[in-house]
Amino acid sequence: MEPVSQAALLLRQAVETRMPVAVLTGAGVSAESGVPTFRGQGGLWHGFRPEELATPEAFARDPARVWEWYHWRRRRCFW
Residue-wise DSSP of the chain: --HHHHHHHHHHHHHHTT--------TTHHHHHTPPPSSSTT-TTTT--GGGTSSHHHHHH-HHHHHHHHHHHHHHHH-
Q: CATH number for the domain including 20?
A: 3.30.1600
Give this prediction's pTM: 0.52
pLDDT digits 0-9 by tens, 44-78: 777 788 888 889 999 999 999 999 988 887 887 77
pLDDT higher than 70, residue 13: yes
pLDDT digits 0-9 by tens, 20-34: 877 777 766 767 777
Average pLDDT value for residue range 4-17: 88
Domain count, the chain: 1
Q: Domain range holding 17? A: 3-78
